[in-house]
Chains A and B, each alone.
Chain A
Amino acid sequence: MIYGDRDLGVIVQNITGRQGRFHTELMNNYAREVGGRGVVAGAAPGKGGQEVHGVPVYDTVREAREEHGATASVVFVPAMAAADAIMEAAHAGIELAVVITEHIPVHDTMKALAYAKLHDCTVIGPNSPGLLSPGECKLGIMPAHLATRGAVGVISRSGTLTYEVVDELTRAGIGQSTVVGIGGDPVIGQTFVDTLARFEDDPETEAVVIIGEVGGNLEEEGVKSTDLPVVAYIAGVSAPPEKRMGHAGAIIEGGEGDARSKVRRISALGIPVASRPSEIPGLIREVL
């Protein structure tokens, strides 16, 4: 596993919101199932003293972290306040912030990530479904029941497409070490390069599936940076230019970032590229 194990103490920012409340319960159900610590505290300004599914709420991240020894945070704060929440977490000594929030303005994200870096805080997302190390820990909103523990790492810019691929892998008897949704925004904290570097240091991970999409060229940078066996899938070969395909980051701009040229360039590096999700388990077997 990468980023953390069952001993990871997690706080949820905006734990009193609808999503924060709902997913705190799911995360702690999972923690109980695997014998992990899970969500130990929540933070929400002005809501200190409350409880959410038995989890104590504090006004600030710092109090939540200090009282419970948490090192990671899951951010469910609404878009216009999310950058502030990331910076608060970094400032309070949180080492890993997983940002679920979608629709954060890009300039806010750039500032928050630069600030987090000054405080050595690793940020996953924004617009991430979170991360899941089967049998160890779950941070975020991924449905845990589709995953099973094993030797394949998964890195994805998407949410539900990740679940699709994890489901395909599990049905084919291929388990996952850690599944990381790095987020669908144009600017994200952990990129394919960063997460692949973590997988390289992870003794459990033998191969990695990367799930990319139109927009940017982070996939190519990623596969160039690693010696691990990799299988890629790129969504959006049928996407028209200059149209945003759901994710803020999924757009072919100025003739750059289209899926076909990504597939071509990644294939040219000798990396197998699946033309549909159902081909991924077969390709993984070949590289393992």
Chain B
Amino acid sequence: MKLLEYEAKEIFSKYGIPVPKGVLIRAPEEVMEHLAEVGDAVVMKAQVDVGGRGKAGGVLFAGGTTAVETARELFSRDIKGVPVRSILVEERLLIEHEYYVSIAVDRSSRQPVILFADAGGVEIESTASAVRRVIVSPLLRNIPPFLMRELLGDAPKELAPTINSLYRVFQEKDAMLAEINPLVTTPQGVYAADAKLIIDDNALARQGIAVNRDLSAREREAEKHGFSYVELDGSIGVIGNGAGLTMSTLDLIEYYRGRAANFLDVGGGADQERVMHAVRLVASMPGVNVIVVNLLGGITRCDEVARGIIAADVSPTVIVRMAGTNEEEGRQLLAGNGYRMLESMDAAVRAAMEVAP
């Protein structure tokens, strides 16, 4: 789950990473109470989960007298379609130089990777050339000095403690990504001018995060049933077991020039109850008039699945492809209740295409 900048900075601060003096406001008028502590020249940053926020108009500068006016203006904006509900008001830094540092999970080496560049800024991702990278063993709690020297090159040594603290944040907060862009030097020292932190969805509970905000209400509802669920914008509902097979079913719909309405992986042990909930959930999406159910597995009980589909009793057409135990019984149950069961996923998707608008 992605944290907002102010949340990430609160965590950074606890780990000794210097962040600008700042305060979070939820209404324009609140800014006046805090100007004394933040300072007269401020930067206002919309707290929205949007890439390229600055370019999209999510960051404004203000002086003392215009602060409320500027805050009101920023609250009225949509940043790439996302409404501004809170603003981080920060002291304006006298920036001498900008750097970039990012710690991520490197799939190839199976270890944390640290990226560093002498030039920070918004376009860093597209100018990968000058970026140095080092791999750190996950068994180490700190970045060894020799690796830090390799990472920094000619950049000031004063950055090292901040980068090491960022690595501690990365490890201890179960981060998939911990990034400071830009990391700046000022006459007053080093600061994390921006902050990005993405927490591993599989570690949210132990990090004390109760609700995954990256999911929509319906996606969270699906999660409660143990489904993996993603909303798309087509008209053909999809239910599969296993992420790969479900994705493959979506792709097949696209191959036949259809558009899938969703991704729903019911997971292992698809019994009557789970299948019924899944079918009802997908049928409740607006615009869905046909649902493809594609289940495969040694232990999937086809009669149970068939009973689940029949019990769901939804208005969209349900087309089924399944293989497992009690296949024939499942087929007869479905046929007896007016449902079609086809032999292959290709056939099932083609049949759905005939029904889809």
Residues from chain A with Cβ under 8 Å of B242 in the complex: 158-161, 246
CB atoms of A160 and B297 under 8 A apart: yes
Residues from chain B with Cβ under 8 Å of A184 in the complex: 243-244
Complex Cα distance, B157 from A104, in Å, reads 36
Nearest residue (CB) in A for B175 is A107
Please count the residue pairs between chain A and chain B whose beta carbons lie under 8 angstroms apart in the complex: 160
B173 → chain A closest CB, angstroms: 9
Given the known inter-chain contacts A159-B244, A246-B247, please indicate yes or no for A276 contacting B346, CB distance below 8 A.
yes
CB atoms of A160 and B260 under 8 A apart: no
- Of residues B246, B248, B250, B251, which shows the largest number of chain A Cβ atoms within 10 Å of its Cβ? B248
Interface residues of B in 272-319 (CB under 8 A from A): 296-299
A237 beta carbon closer than 8 Å to chain B: yes
B345 beta carbon closer than 8 Å to chain A: yes
Interface residues of A in 149-171 (CB under 8 A from B): 156-164, 167
Complex Cα distance, B138 from A109, in Å, reads 10
Interface-facing stretch out of B9-17, B18-26, B76-84, B201-209: B201-209
Given the known inter-chain contacts A110-B111, A221-B108, please indicate yes or no for A163 contacting B252, CB distance below 8 A.
no
Residues from chain A with Cβ under 8 Å of B244 in the complex: 156-162, 184, 211, 213, 235, 246-247
Residues from chain B with Cβ under 8 Å of A163 in the complex: 245, 296-298
B119 → chain A closest CB, angstroms: 18
Interface-facing stretch out of A34-42, A43-51, A186-194, A200-208: A186-194
A271 beta carbon closer than 8 Å to chain B: no
Instruction: Produce 1/0 per residue, A215-236, CB < 8 A to B.
Output: 1111001000000000000011
Residues from chain B with Cβ under 8 Å of A264 in the complex: none
A263 → chain B closest CB, angstroms: 11
Would you give 11 A-B contacts (Cβ < 8 Å), ordered by A?
A106-B203, A143-B298, A159-B245, A161-B244, A235-B248, A236-B250, A244-B230, A245-B230, A246-B265, A250-B247, A278-B345
A112 → chain B closest CB, angstroms: 9
A256 → chain B closest CB, angstroms: 10
Complex Cα distance, B176 from A43, in Å, reads 32
CB atoms of B251 and A110 under 8 A apart: no
Task: Kindly list the 8 A-B residue pairs having the minimum CB-CB distance in the complex, ordered from nearest.
Answer: A143-B298, A158-B244, A246-B243, A160-B242, A161-B244, A110-B138, A105-B203, A246-B228
Complex Cα distance, B240 from A221, in Å, reads 29
Interface residues on chain A, size class: 35 or more
With beta carbons under 8 angstroms apart, the residue of A79, A114, A145, A238 that contacts B250 is A238
Interface residues of B in 113-153 (CB under 8 A from A): 125, 137-139
B171 beta carbon closer than 8 Å to chain A: yes
Complex Cα distance, B100 from A117, in Å, reads 32
Residues from chain A with Cβ under 8 Å of B206 in the complex: 80, 105
CB atoms of A145 and B243 under 8 A apart: no
Given the known inter-chain contacts A105-B174, A276-B248, please indicate yes or no for A246 contacting B298, CB distance below 8 A.
no
B251 → chain A closest CB, angstroms: 5
Residues from chain B with Cβ under 8 Å of A217 in the complex: 107-108
Interface residues of A in 46-69 (CB under 8 A from B): none
Nearest residue (CB) in B for A145 is B298
Complex Cα distance, B251 from A249, in Å, reads 18
CB atoms of B110 and A187 under 8 A apart: yes
Given the known inter-chain contacts A107-B138, A187-B105, please indicate yes or no for A237 contacting B111, CB distance below 8 A.
no
A239 beta carbon closer than 8 Å to chain B: yes
Complex Cα distance, B322 from A253, in Å, reads 32
